Structure 1
Amino acid sequence: MTMNGAYFNNLDQKGLKTALAQIPGSKTTDYILFSLNVASGTSADINFGLTGPVLASDSAATQATTDLLVKVVAEGVSSGACKRVWLSLGGWGSDAFSNIEAILTADGSQNGDLATVLMANFSAIFNQITAIDGVESVGFDLDYEQQSGNLTALVTMTAVTLYTQFQCPLTFCPYQADGPWIAALQAVYAALGVQPVAGINLQTYAGGRYNDPSAWTTDLTNAADTGVADPASFIWPIVSCDTTALPDSTPSQTATALQGWKSAGGSLWATANLPYHGHTLTDYGKAIAGAVA
């Protein structure tokens, strides 16, 4: 697949109005909804972001899922070019992966009531998005940014659990060194016998500003047993239009960067900041499409 993505953020604030205004006529095909959070190891509730609102509780989606996520995706398929949706899990300040592990392994078992409710909550959100006419696939984007914990182990557990439940595509969203992430690819492939991770959304701003997508491609090419058939088309840089997440990029700078990295896909962080110096989601979507064609 070719990634032409955008991270839709702050939907519980001004970001929803901005997103709905930016979508019509845009060419972005992949809507990455930022972000889902499991805020506690003793509660199966799934929040939007760090503080809520709650998107799913007691095995059912809440009105917030309809008002925020469904509304954006429905607009995307009706007046934009949305065909794939990625539910972003984690993000800076979130301990979602450790909390998921705590729930899945409570009392030494992955079959406890809390684990069952957690997966039912994920299913409730997943099913609402899947039911939108025009959506071709729904997957998860794993954005591990915890300051403690074993990245490889926690990402692997989460990836295997989600794929086993949903048989859906996944993406990784790193901002740090590639070794633990490549190890996670290897571990997921070894556990499942297939590689459900479709690509890596690589942050090239803020904490990931020193990432070199070409170097990630080389390291992935040199790694064995990853289940990745074509490393050259697997690394998809994310560029920023946020002055708090530098370096920031205009659409033309985005195209130049993606062409220089010989990227087969790319995404924009983050739609809540649009229009950016007059540039719209349409402008960024066209720039990415032209650069990765």
Structure 2
Amino acid sequence: MKGKAFKALMSCLLLLGLLPWSASAETVSESVIYGGGPFYAGGTDTMNTLKASGFTTVMLWTIHVNSNGDLVYNDQPVVSNGTYVGKASWPAELASLKQAPTSVKRLEISVGSWGVSDFQNIKNLVATQGTGTGSILYKNFAALKSALGVDAVSFDNEDLYDVNSAVAFGKMLSGMGLKITLCPYTNVSYWQSVKSQLGSSVDRVYLQVYDGGAGNDPAAWSSQLGMTVMPGLDSKTSSGGNTPAQVNSRMSAWKSSAGIQGGFIWYYDAILNNPGGGSAADYAAAINSALGAPANGSLTTGGTVSASAMGSPSGEEKEKAFDGSSSTKWLIFTNAGWIQYQFGGGASHIATSYSVTSANDFPARDPKNWSLQGSNNGTSWTTLDTRTGQTFASRFLTKTYTFSNTTAYSYYRLNVTANNGGAELQIAEIGLYP
């Protein structure tokens, strides 16, 4: 089946709830999260948070190129003399990002930033050694690609606008099988030349619409570069930036005015430093909902939520545990209880993993012991997974659990038998994944 008939069938199935959102051929929007130190030092907990966030691309910001060709991730040496020398566990941690259940499909590294000499060093190395397989640039980036499994390299060139060396560098990376993305904020003629000469190797343009690029118009840049750009905004901080609601509003406007199909957030470190401004999942949901994509990779879209007790204060009802936002929560005045999700339209789905996100205003309220159950009538339940002694070490922490299941259920219930000692029970978000 092809063309309009196939698209019509897919749309009908989605509307009827017979397919999860992740199966939609119409969902092409992309959301990108930039991050620095926490992506290196945060370990498995950070990877799990990213996997459950709803972002489709993770950007490792930033790789610096030293004058001798060594590669440094911010202040951490990662490649020297053609050998990976970074944290031993980092490659496996990054590899887990694209392992189901996850929203992440792509991993990129960014090269350069403001106030550095990375592209000047690249120019000097190209001039002295070239970009052949024997050059230090080739050896080091090949080692980085092999160790980290990255899909693309993003040029965040803010220190030297030299077209020839940037093109030579890009062609070297393309020859390794890497895609090239561009991240401009000014000097459009430079980026036009680089993109033109690298051709189809460039598959994305990330336009900075904050700080020095705050006045940029995505429609104008798209026209000038001959490719629809993906605009980026900074997250909320004490000195400025954008709340998730503001990101949603601006991305929605750019979808209308410029036809954007993706956007990015700068950046994860600032989100962690200002938890009251919104979580990574909140920012992903802001972009994804503006562009018509699902809030995350979860099956829970458009169904009905029930619970053993009424949600307590207004704004903390049972539906908040399935609204795609970790800044809201379900709260009840008892230390145990259940909450369940029923798919709409009589649909049933095979779930093989689920996630629980802690609100963690008061850790004693977090769930500790529970079972996940499935049912097709809402009365007879099958226990699918049981957990005891669970703790959540940080606010908005997401933990993902996998289990063996080959049966499609209409209902899934999280039955919490104990919390961590408080008088109330709270959960920020629950996700179900195929």
TM bucket by the smaller chain? 0.7 to 0.9
**Structure-2-length-normalised TM-score:** 0.54
Tell me how far apart the structure 2 counterparts of residues 94 and 70 of structure 1 sit (CA, whole Å). 29
2:165 is the counterpart of 1:154: yes
CA contact (8 A) 1:144 1:151 kept: no
The CA distance in 1 between the partners of 2:245 and 2:204, in whole Å, is 24
Question: Unmatched 5+ residue regions in structure 1?
Answer: 131-136, 190-194, 222-230
Distance 2:97 2:154 in 1: 21
CA offset at residue 13 of structure 1?
A: 8.0
Deviation digits for residues 211-258 of structure 1 (CA, Å, limit 9, x no counterpart): 11111122234xxxxxxxxx3xx20011101538x7511112112111
In structure 2, the CA distance between the partners of 1:208 and 1:151, relative to structure 1 (3 Å rule), is: farther
8 Å contact kept, 1:35–1:90? yes
2:151 pairs with 1:118: no
Distance 2:253 2:289 in 1: 13
Which residue, 141, 149, 152 being the options, matches 1:139? 152
Match of 1:174 in 2: 184
> Within 2, Cα distance between the matches of 1:86 and 1:144?
15
Aligned sequence identity (%): 22
Higher helix share: 1
TM-score (norm 1): 0.78
1:62 to 57, 73, 85: 85
Find the partner of 1:99 among 121, 126, 129.
121
Aligned position for 1:86? 108
Counterparts of 2:230 and 2:29, CA distance in 1: 9
Larger radius of gyration: 2
CA deviation vs aligned residue, 1:191-219 (integer Å, no higher than 9, x gap):
xxxx1111111111111111111111222
Letter in 2 for 1:270: Y
Label 1:112 to 1:121 Cα distance change in 2 as closer, same or farther (>3 A): closer
More displaced 10-residue stretch of structure 1: 72-81 or 82-91: 72-81
Cα offset, 1:101, TM superposition: 2.1
Give the aligned partner of residue 64 of structure 2.
Answer: 37
Gaps of 5+ in 2: 1-27, 293-434
In the alignment of these two chains, the number of paired residues is 259
Aligned to 2:284: 285
- RMSD, aligned α-carbons: 2.6
Aligned residue among 220, 223, 226 for 1:215: 220
Question: Which residue pairs with 2:269 in the alignment?
Answer: 272
Q: Kindly indicate which of the two structures has a greater share of residues assigned to strand.
A: 2
- Partners of 2:94 and 2:141 in 1: CA distance: 18
Cα 1:154–1:208 shift into 2, 3 Å: farther
Counterparts of 1:110 and 1:218, CA distance in 2? 32
Query: How far 1:126 sits from its partner (Å)?
Result: 0.9
